[in-house]
Amino acid sequence: MPDPASRLSAQLWNIRTSVEAQLRCLTDVQQLVARFNDLALTESRATEKAKIVDHLNAIVKYSTALDVAIIKALREADGLVTG
């Protein structure tokens, strides 16, 4: 079984991965919103709106994963002290 510091390190990588994924989604959403106003056709706007909603839902998913990873990291950090 890995030591507490190794487990904490693994959780920190999980946190980093979730944060990076959220940032990519946020960047994509910002670009989609910027393009949205330039679209004249209702159909194109509906497609872009669907993409925006999909990306926002992905952000929620990554946020949930981030919450779980942070809780696990806190437990591992506590194990460093009480080990």
Residues spanned by the domain of 55: 4-82
Alpha-carbon distance of 2 to 44, in angstroms, equals 52
- pTM of the predicted model as reported, rounded to 2 decimal places: 0.76
**H helix count then E strand count, the chain:** 2, 0
Q: Tell me the two tokens of residue 18.
A: 């979730």
Alpha-carbon distance of 60 to 57, in angstroms, equals 5
Q: What is the mean pLDDT of the chain?
A: 88
Q: What is the mean pLDDT of residues 50-70?
A: 92
pLDDT classification of 28: cutoffs 50, 70, 90: very high
Total number of domains in the chain: 1
User: Tokens 């949205």 sit at which residue?
Assistant: 36
Can you give the pLDDT at residue 83? 52
The residues, any chain, with a CB within 8 Å of residue 28's CB and separated by 6 or more, are 55
